[in-house]
Structure 1
Amino acid sequence: MSHPIFNRALKIIGSLAVVAALAAPAANAQSSKRNVVKKPHSAKVTGAKKAVSTRKSVRFVAGSRKGKNKSVIRASAPPRPSYGQIAGLHTAQDALDLKSSVALVIDQDTREVLFSKNDHAVLPIASLTKLMTGIIVSSAKLPMDEMITITQDDVDTEKGSTSRLRVGTVLSRGELMHLSLMSSENRAAHALGRTYPGGLAAFVTQMNARAKLLGMNDTRYVEPTGLSSRNQSSAQDLATLVNAAHADPMLRELSTSPGYQVAVGNRTLQYNNTNRLVKNPDWDIGLQKTGYISEAGQCLVMQTKIAGRKLIMVFLDSAGKLSRLGDAERVRRWVESNPTAEPKVNVSTSVKQING
């Protein structure tokens, strides 16, 4: 007969053996992992793989066994140069170190030129086009409460840009005008031209006729949004356009509106002004419009009052979205500190029209 103490000892030894047996696979796994980490990579790691392995979004790290999620490295294409860059206008230096390759500042009352830089160059003008669109719609005295439906014809096939106004959206002509001038809504601007008496072709004809009537001899329009690079003008002509648009109270109000809401079905869409300077208390802006397509660069025109003078500013082909606003700030500070100075820039590049 076995002794009780001996039996308990056997049970203890058996339990320890079971624990050891269970722990052995885990210990071997940990040892295996340590060996994998310390083991040198057998494959060469390229510089490109080293670079992408530090990004959180990249799952594949060179040497890892999880090769299923390898990242494909694509070199981004360089940005498309603007027409002004192609023409070498960015090489022009000016006294204010502006980032726009074209600039013009004039006294609205006396037409005195305070500052100019490549102001006769003819370039794409992007959504600055919408000022003329607004002039034509307003002068036609069309009912602003007439409801207009956004159709497939209003969808951008030129640049493939998106819009919050879906096909089938119904808004009044006045609402479309507001969104076009304040937020540069392309479908809104196109719908305004499409529903003009006689259609889009008649509208564009009126745009060019009005430009000619105003003496804008460097200007040409082919559509009402500015998405086409064939809509072109010069800073001199655009100053004339700003002056004409500023004479219209509706265009002044809509273009300088800080924000606007429209009801679309069961949704309410909030739109904001594309020019943040309209909310800046340091600025007194009577009319403004921004614009951008790659061929035109960043553009801005404004009517404003500085140091007691009503001024028209034109900035074309700026390097960045904020740099055009920075140029406006530079001009404002310069006018405030030098109200009678008139620096001008004479550039060697002689450009009348650039077709890219």
Structure 2
Amino acid sequence: MLKLHLLFIVFFFASLVPLVAHAKRVAHKAASKPAIQARAAIAVDLTSGRTLYAKNADARLPVASLTKLLTAMVVLDSKRSLLKPARITDADVDRLKYSRSRLPVGSLLLRRTMLHIALMSSENRAAFALSRDYPGGRAGFVRAMNRTAKRLHMNRSHFVDPTGLSPHNVSSARDLTKLARAAYRYPVIRDYATSHHKLVLGGDGPLMYRNTDPLVYDAAWRVGLQKTGFTNEAGHCLIVVAQVHGKPTLFVILGALAAHGHVQDAANLRSWLIGHSKR
């Protein structure tokens, strides 16, 4: 009887072994993935282009003001002087989303100031004015945007306006890594996009603009490029180049629902990469 009892105990514990092993595998698998709530995300080694993490990276989604990195490239590629002044007109008022702008109609600013606050603070009227002040007008500017996207092999992308207010400005997280890597090569874009603030003299008086991305104020991130974006259709979006073990790493977050979800997802992904590389 004692032998049977002992055999039962042996078999009972033996049966637990695969269950414990399975639980460990499940826990390890869960720990091996970062907690990303956004609809799509990707992390890429900026130097090599190697993908380090991807979630729905090829899904075609609205990209909101991430568009403005492409807008900046088209502005700079036109070779028109950034020291030329341009005026905000009624044609630059957003009548799609009726988004707020701090630049009243009639404001006269240098084109470089418009580019600066479009990148740093997502000033939509500045982006609209820059696109209007282009050979062929705004329509010609949008055509140039799509030509540039095609040249970068952004095959899942299409743009209809320079601000990203339209939900028809679409791309994928993977395509946006191509855009970000190209934009990173422009010193002016890196400088304007990562600056903390800008005093603008125009309109009704001096205006202080600040960066919309809280990560630029965190020295640990050493942000080399960034752009935030939000519309109801796109959710909260982010492109940021930050350091991971001394290497520039590109993060793209699309479609975060919470107000700071895009920043939290980027932080979770960066922390996961740091821990993953240690393992």
* TM-score normalised according to structure 2 size: 0.87
1:152 maps to 90
1:265 Cα deviation (Å)?
Answer: 4.8
Q: Which runs of 4+ in 1 moved over 2 A?
A: none
Amino acid at match of 2:115: M
> Would you say 1:260 and 2:198 are equivalent positions?
yes
2:272 maps to 334
Q: For 2:47 and 2:207, locate their aligned partners in 1 and report how far apart those are by CA, in whole Å.
A: 39
1:98 maps to 36
Maintained 8 Å contact 2:40/2:253: yes
Question: Could you list the runs of 5+ residues in structure 2 that have no partner in the other structure?
Answer: 1-31
> Would you say 1:317 and 2:255 are equivalent positions?
yes
Amino acid at match of 1:203: F
Maintained 8 Å contact 1:261/1:269: yes
Maintained 8 Å contact 2:104/2:204: no
1:266 Cα deviation (Å)?
Answer: 5.8
1:98-141 deviation digits (Å, cap 9, x = unpaired): 12110000111222111100000000100000000000001111
Maintained 8 Å contact 1:307/1:335: no
> Would you say 1:301 and 2:267 are equivalent positions?
no
Q: Which moved more, 1:273-282 or 1:326-335?
A: 326-335
Q: For 1:207 and 1:189, locate their aligned partners in 2 and report how far apart those are by CA, in whole Å.
A: 13
> Would you say 1:270 and 2:270 are equivalent positions?
no
Q: For 1:335 and 1:97, locate their aligned partners in 2 and report how far apart those are by CA, in whole Å.
A: 12
1:233 maps to 171
* TM-score normalised according to structure 1 size: 0.68
Give the alignment partner of residue 115 of structure 1, picking from 44, 47, 53: 53
User: How many residues get paired?
Assistant: 249
Amino acid at match of 2:85: M
Q: For 2:251 and 2:228, locate their aligned partners in 1 and report how far apart those are by CA, in whole Å.
A: 12
Q: For 1:127 and 1:332, locate their aligned partners in 2 and report how far apart those are by CA, in whole Å.
A: 22
1:68-121 deviation digits (Å, cap 9, x = unpaired): xxxxxxxxxxxxxxxxxxxxxxxxxx9212121100001112221111000000
1:321 Cα deviation (Å)?
Answer: 2.4
2:99 maps to 161
How large is the RMSD of aligned CA atoms in angstroms?
A: 1.4
1:285 counterpart SS class: coil
> Would you say 1:243 and 2:155 are equivalent positions?
no
1:339 counterpart SS class: helix
1:157-213 deviation digits (Å, cap 9, x = unpaired): 110112110000000100000010000000000001000111011100000000000
Identity of aligned residues (%): 42
1:340 Cα deviation (Å)?
Answer: 6.8
Question: Could you list the runs of 5+ residues in structure 1 that have no partner in the other structure?
Answer: 1-93, 342-356
Q: For 2:140 and 2:33, locate their aligned partners in 1 and report how far apart those are by CA, in whole Å.
A: 44
